[in-house]
Structure 1
Amino acid sequence: MAAPAESPAILPRLRLETRPFHDGVESNAFNQALTNGTVTAAQTAHFLARMYGFVQPYEAALHRHAAALGPEWQLEQRYRAPLILEDLARLGYPGQPPLCPTLPPLDTRAQLLGAMYVLEGSSLGGQVIARHLAAAGIEGRSFFAGRAERTGPLWKQFGQLLEAAAAAEDADAVVASAILTFQTLAAWLIQE
């Protein structure tokens, strides 16, 4: 009897299959201004407000499922919505940011894992954004700098946990959730 085929690693598959959707998230006005070196404090505040509108309800859903995920995920170290509010206060943003009315489904473990891939990955890109904002002299970088020196280790830990968890999940559902999360986030970020 032949041994069952091992399922391929989920992280390389996620990187490959979500690349066009990841690029779609990065094609917003804020990232273009950041790349061009023309980013302003007002653009940063607008982008952060939009991110809060997505991150806050996502983190609330994650919190609701914390027990099902387990303590090894160290979710309390992964929440970053409060950092956005701190940044918005520094940037003089008036009022409360609007919340995204429709997140991708976050009801199953596979859906949570796919969404987590997107939002955890954003902490890596945030490090680069924080450096660009510092060079431009713009305050309000806490969300992007977020975990500072813990960013790499937390991402590595996340990747290990994701690989182990995905082995027991429907990998197609994890990838589909990541794609839908990227698509939903991209659409939310470009709304006014």
Structure 2
Amino acid sequence: MSITSGTPVILQRLRSETRPYHDALEQNEFNQSLSAGQASAGATQWFLAKLYGFLKPYEARLDNHSFGPAWDIEQRHRAHLILADVPTNAPLPLCPDMPPLTTWPQLLGAMYVLEGSTLGGQVITRQLAQAGIGSRTYFTGYAEQTGPMWKRFCQLLAEEATPANQAEIVASASLTFQKLHAWINQP
């Protein structure tokens, strides 16, 4: 997707400055096997368990902050969707090394990463369907509302970004990508 002059500066910066971390995260074993058409139900459930371990503490930290109704924070909680996709006895360890999420810009940066993942989830849902793997509740995200929810988030992010906090937003997004990558690649 090309960046146009109508794209808010914060979104331009986030796309360009986090690109290496985004690309590195996408090189994980699950995504590689999925792209190669070699996905398995076991690998999918392992990946989902790793995502749960990151999302659960992330969402708990979101709950420590006040968001206005426009943010739809309750709807943006998605860790519980993973529980429909993994066996009830699946181990779900929590990530012990989360990015700091204490300031508003840190939250916005992390949200950029995790809300953006709903777009990738749409692609993963189609790939899993082609592979005959049913564990797709989480990856389906907001279903037909995925695009509108992403656009609404981007609008709110652009409204909240200022010249004074943009560097911290970008740094938080970069660190979130890195911490998630490290967690997913941890055995």
1:94 is the counterpart of 2:89:
yes
Read off the aligned partner of 2:79 and give its amino acid letter.
A
TM-score, normalised on structure 1?
0.91
Question: Could you tell me which amino acid in structure 2 is paired with residue 50 of structure 1?
Answer: K
Distance 1:115 1:169 in 2: 18
Give the root-mean-square deviation of aligned CA atoms: 1.2
Task: Name the structure 1 match of 2:131.
Answer: 136
Offset from partner CA, 1:67-117 (integer Å, 9 cap, x none): 2x32210111111000011111xxx36334000011000000000000000
Distance 1:93 1:191, change over 3 A: farther
With over 3 angstroms needed to count, the CA separation of the structure-2 counterparts of 1:55 and 1:169, relative to structure 1, is farther
- What stretches of structure 2 of length at least 5 have no aligned partner? 1-7
CA radius of gyration, larger in:
1
> What is the aligned partner in structure 2 of residue 31 from structure 1?
31
Aligned equivalent of 1:176, options 171, 174, 179:
171
Indicate yes or no: 2:182 matched with 1:187. Answer: yes
Is the 1:110–1:169 Cα contact (8 Å) retained in structure 2? no
Aligned partner of 1:15 in structure 2 is 15
Alignment of 1:35-46 (within 5 A): 35-46=35-46
1:109 aligns with one of 81, 87, 104: 104
The CA deviation at 1:169 is 5.2
SS in 2 for 1:87: coil
TM-score by length of 2: 0.93
Alpha-carbon shift at residue 146 of structure 1 (Å): 1.6
Q: Which residue of 1 is the match for residue 79 of structure 2?
A: 81
Task: Answer yes or no: is the 8 Å Cα contact 1:115–1:177 preserved in 2.
Answer: yes
Where structure 1 has 5 or more consecutive residues not aligned to the other structure, the ranges are 1-7
Query: What do the CA deviations read for 1:148-188 (whole angstroms, capped 9, x no partner)?
Result: 00000000000000000012751000000000000000000
3-state SS, counterpart of residue 86 of structure 1: coil
Identity %: 58
CA contact (8 A) 1:83 1:142 kept: yes
Kindly state the Cα deviation for residue 29 of structure 1 after the two structures are TM-superposed. Answer: 0.4
Alignment check: 8 A CA contact 1:45 1:93 kept:
no
Amino acid at match of 1:40: S
Aligned twin of 1:64 = 64
